[in-house]
Amino acid sequence: MLITCPYCGPRDVIEFIYQGDGNRERPQPASQNLDAWNAYVYNRLNPAGDHNEIWQHSGGCRAHLRV
């Protein structure tokens, strides 16, 4: 499988590391809202069909991509 990096062009998937679901919104780092952090860490939706993922080009430019 090829993933197109905007900086390096098409690259093999072996150069990338999966970083997680790309549809979730992370709470602000300084947030003290434990319910928001608990929901972010543990609650996941499992929809059928297309979805977004975050990948890091660890074998290249180190950029984070939404695929």
Cα torsion angle, 25, 29, 34, 40, sign: positive
φ/ψ of 33, rounded to 5, equals: -75, 100
Residues 58, 12 contacting (CB under 8 angstroms): no
**Residue 19: CB partners within 8 Å, gap ≥ 6?**
53, 54, 55, 56, 64
Confidence at residue 62, expressed as pLDDT on a 0 to 100 scale: 96
Domains and CATH numbers, the chain: 1-24+52-67 (3.30.2270.10)
pTM (two decimals): 0.69
pLDDT digits (tens, 9 = 90+) for 30-61: 888 999 999 888 887 777 888 889 999 999 99
Instruction: Return the closest-CA partner of residue 20 out of 55, 61, 58, 57.
Output: 55
pLDDT digits (tens, 9 = 90+) for 15-24: 999 998 888 8
